[in-house]
Amino acid sequence: MGSDLISILTQAGQSLGAHRGAAATASQNIANVNTPGYSRQIANLAANTPTDFVGNTFIGSGVQLQSVTQARDAFLERQMQSAFSSSGFSSTESAALTSVSALDPDDANGLTAALGTFYTSLRGVAQNPSDTGLRQAAVSAAQSLAQTFNRTSTALEQARDGVDANMAGIVADVNQSASAMAALNVQIQQSRVTGAEPNDLLDQRQQLQDKLATLTGATPVLDAQGDVAMALPGGADLVGALRAGQLSLAPDPNNGGHLTVNLTRADGTGPVPLTSAQLGGNLGGALSARDGGLLTAKNGIDQMAFDFANTINAVHSAGFAADGTTGHQMFTVSATASGAASSLTVDSALVANPALLAAASAAGASGDNKNMLALVNTESTALSTGADVSGTFQDLVTSFGAKSALSKAISDQDSGMVDHLTQLRESTSGVNLDEEMVNLTKAQRAFEAVSKVITTADSMLDTLIGLKS
């Protein structure tokens, strides 16, 4: 079969389509320059297989748009999942820990100041136990100290409640994203039946993967059909291939009614409770802050309040009040350390009558301050921690501060890592407008040239037809 002008027209028409496709791809890239998660698309042009054999050679038969692929780096994306997971974990933990101000060392209304005022007032009474004003001041200082214990403990507990509220939001987000991801898996499977890659759906799924990794620390598991499941740390399926699991929250009576996370699996079984080891990302970080640093600090304050109140009571009840009676308690404290700080109060009889402050070591002498001196001495009595009351608080502040500083440092480091990997991914997958303008211009020029081919072939045909007339 010989080459003819009609076939030039035909293949030129086809080539116009290919260049239009290239221009459309550039325009799609330009349009999505700011779309989060968008991976730049590449129009792959390929020369048609020549079929025209003229003389002893093949004549080419134009160009076609073979495929539109995405510029993506699977290696990088895999690394990003784990970076998202750790960054989600550390940022949530750090935010929860740094938001607590109850343990600020310089707080004018904090425990340091309240303990100081308490002992100052006891020293005042020790100097002159018969002064009713000084006794009143000591009882007020004891009340203020008890309230400061209450407030410090409550503030830590409120921070833990705040984490619960935060978790509720995260879980809602997880469930929505997991369902969306399962739905996308279905759509992607259907689209692939045509043999083409549904690029924009893949972008969306990648974004959901990133989001779920950030929220829960889940990692993607690719199956043979190209579906992506999401497995929580420890292997529980959050998203099965085509179905999503659901997280739910339930109060845990063994943890003061704080929320525990349950998973209803993708296959509908469950719900089963998830341990903190089975959760990463924001959820894992929230749990780590709530049941780690914050709980330790709260328990520490409880233990400190319990030890302190019992130490004071032991000395106080051995002394004698101004009216010669003995055996009075200064603080009303719970039977166990649990919740001691939040329930600590000053004995109501003492509040009503500061004369009951047991300053004396024996009945009868109004100026006897021996027991008050013994109470002042409790300032350096070792509590169950091995340190005195101020030393115990010092240790609490230091260890809480160390946790908070560490998680902040890790969080900064993790977010730096995410930034770095995001830049690398952007470098591969991001849209560069200059490049796209060049691509667009390139496609436009090719389109114009091919159009010229059509007019040329047309005029050649005219010439051919004109030969007969």
Partner 1 sequence: MRVSDKMFYDLATKNALDARDRVLTASQEAATGKRVTSPGDDPSAAGLIVRDRTQLIRLDAINQGAGRANDELSMADSNLQQLSNVVTRARELAEQLSNDSYSAAERGNAVAEVNTLFNQALSLMNVDFNGRYIFGGTKDNQPPFDASGNYQGDTNVRQIEVAPGVLEDSSVRADVAVKGVGGGADLFATLNSLSTALGANDGSGIRAAFASLDSVNQQVGNALAKVGASMDAFDAAQSIAASTKLTTTKTLSGEQDADVFEATSNLALANHALDATLTASAASFQMSLVDKL
Indicate the residue among 263 and 431 with the shorter CB distance to partner 1. Answer: 431
Q: How far is the CB of 190 from partner 1 (least distance, A)?
A: 30
**Binders of partner 1 in range 124-163 (CB under 8 A):** 124, 126-128, 130-131
Indicate the residue among 100 and 182 with the shorter CB distance to partner 1. Answer: 100
- In sequence order, the β-bridge partners of residue 252 are 258
Residue 90: CA atoms inside 13 Å, Cβ hemisphere, count? 20
Q: How far is the CB of 240 from partner 1 (least distance, A)?
A: 33
Task: Please report whether residue 119 would count as binding partner 1 according to CB under 8 A.
Answer: yes
* Cβ pair 201, 188 in contact under 8 A: yes
Q: How far is the CB of 164 from partner 1 (least distance, A)?
A: 22
Q: CA 169 to CA 420: how far, in whole Å?
A: 28
Task: Please report whether residue 82 would count as binding partner 1 according to CB under 8 A.
Answer: no
Instruction: Specify the residue for token string 């509720």.
Output: 168
Q: CA 18 to CA 12: how far, in whole Å?
A: 10
**Binders of partner 1 in range 367-426 (CB under 8 A):** 367-369, 373, 376-377, 379-380, 390-391, 393-395, 397-402, 404-405, 408, 419, 422-423, 426
Task: Please report whether residue 442 would count as binding partner 1 according to CB under 8 A.
Answer: no
The three-state (H, E, C) secondary structure of 306-334, written as one string: HHHHHHHHHHHHHCECCCCCECCCCEECC
- In sequence order, the β-bridge partners of residue 331 are 346
Task: Please report whether residue 123 would count as binding partner 1 according to CB under 8 A.
Answer: yes
Other beta carbons less than 10 A from residue 18's beta carbon:
23
Write b or e for each residue in 142-165: b if 16 or more Cβ atoms lie within 10 A of its Cβ, otherwise e: bbbbbbbbbbbbbbbbebbbbbee
Q: What are phi and psi of 308, to 5 degrees?
A: -60, -50
* Cβ pair 247, 262 in contact under 8 A: yes
Q: How far is the CB of 370 from partner 1 (least distance, A)?
A: 8
Measured between alpha carbons, how far is residue 31 from residues 23, 24, 34, 40, 63 in Å? 12, 10, 8, 11, 26
Q: How far is the CB of 87 from partner 1 (least distance, A)?
A: 14
Query: What x-and-dash track marks residues 222-251 binding partner 1 by CB under 8 A?
Result: ------------------------------
Rg (CA), the chain: 38
Q: How far is the CB of 141 from partner 1 (least distance, A)?
A: 11
Residue 95: CA atoms inside 13 Å, Cβ hemisphere, count? 14
Number of residues in contact with partner 1 under rule CB under 8 A:
66
Contact with partner 1 (CB under 8 A): which of 103, 141, 145, 178?
Answer: 103
Indicate the residue among 105 and 226 with the shorter CB distance to partner 1. Answer: 105
Q: How far is the CB of 461 from partner 1 (least distance, A)?
A: 35
How large is the angle between the packed helices 389-429 and 111-127, nearest 10 degrees? 170
Query: What x-and-dash track marks residues 35-74 binding partner 1 by CB under 8 A?
Result: -----x----------------------------------
Indicate the residue among 66 and 98 with the shorter CB distance to partner 1. Answer: 98
Q: What residue ranges bind partner 1 (CB under 8 A)?
A: 33-34, 40, 97-98, 100-101, 103-106, 112-113, 115-117, 119-120, 123-124, 126-128, 130-131, 360, 364-369, 373, 376-377, 379-380, 390-391, 393-395, 397-402, 404-405, 408, 419, 422-423, 426-434, 437-438, 441
